[in-house]
Amino acid sequence: MTSTLRLLVCAVALLSLTGCATVRTLDAAKPDAPVVYAGTRLDWYALNGGCCPLDRFGAAAPRYPGLDLPASALLDTLLLPFSLATALGVSLGVSGGL
């Protein structure tokens, strides 16, 4: 791997420590908050100057939503079956934590 590519990977990794919008919305547990593509929608909301992400999504927007948007879109796509099931009220019997 070239040093430029290594530097780019390290920079993106450091910027991602500010928090992924998808992960933040998964923890939000706010009633009536969007579920399907919630992280992507939160990033888009922040990029378009949305005033109150905590009220709408139950989570704060990432510091750099433009950088977070591609990763959130990918993660939201991978989690789409689960978010659709949640939006439709289907219980999959999945729980997190210990």
> pLDDT tens for residues 1-27?
688 888 777 666 655 555 688 888 877
**pLDDT score of 43:** 93
Summarize pLDDT for 26-80 with one digit per residue, the tens: 777 778 888 899 999 999 999 999 888 888 888 888 888 888 899 889 889 998 9
Domain extent for 62: 3-88
Whether 95 is covered by a domain: the verdict is no
Whether 42 is covered by a domain: the verdict is yes
**pLDDT score of 3:** 82
Cα–Cα distance, 19 to 21 (Å, whole number): 6
Residue type, 79: L
What distance lies between CA 89 and its chain's CA centroid? 21
**pLDDT score of 55:** 87
Closest CA to 71 of 13, 1, 8: 13
Whether 48 is covered by a domain: the verdict is yes
Whether 57 is covered by a domain: the verdict is yes
Judge if pTM exceeds 0.85: no
Dig out the tokens for 89 from the structure.
């009220």
